[in-house]
Amino acid sequence: MQRGAAEAPFPHRHLLGIEGLSPDGINHVLDLADGYVQLNRQADKKRSLLRGRTIINCFFESSTRTRTSFEVAGKRLGGDVINMSVPASAMVKGETLIDTAMTLNAMHPDVLLVRHPESGAVHLLSEKVDCAVVNAGDGSHEHPTLALLTIRRRKGRLGGLTVAICGFAVALAACGRLAKRI
């Protein structure tokens, strides 16, 4: 990890979007992530940083890359990772998003990592639970964990860049918010 990455704690309870983060805050998170990229290249990838912490991955829409990345990261950092399967949950019987959140909250997790097809759903959940909430994508609104580390590693910086975003039109709003911070 780069010097200073672990010196100051992340000052936010949740990571819901990128807009509220300062450039220093973004770089702090990216410094930490960059250190873990190096860890993933080692033979011994397991650490105990999250030992005793429970992370529940709640993916209300399909995502191979994001869900698997967060699951692997949580496990490699020593956390207890639970993947909630929406098709196997009470939501298929009509349980609401808030009811599901309250059920999960009663289990006292440390982090809910949420991907949801509706913009604003993750923010709503953050108001209803006692733990930290990380937005892993909410509709066309935000996907704050997307691409910043890759851009910084390839370009050496985030500021002053022109970025072309290609992909699904529905994802362009989330990518637009990302591009504003670069």
Residues labelled as active-site residues: 65-66, 93, 115, 143
Q: In what order do the strands lie in the sheet with 80-85?
A: 80-85, 54-59, 111-116, 132-138
Residue 105 contacts residue 133 (beta carbons within 8 Å)? no
Q: Which residues contact 136 (CB under 8 A, 6 or more apart)?
A: 57, 59, 63, 66, 67, 70, 113, 114, 115, 143, 145
H-type alpha helices, the chain:
23-40, 64-76, 97-105, 121-128, 148-155, 172-180
Q: Which residues contact 105 (CB under 8 A, 6 or more apart)?
A: 128, 129, 130, 131
113 C-beta neighbours (distance < 10 Å), count: 27
From 151, 145, 112, 147, select the one nearest 128 (Cα to Cα).
112
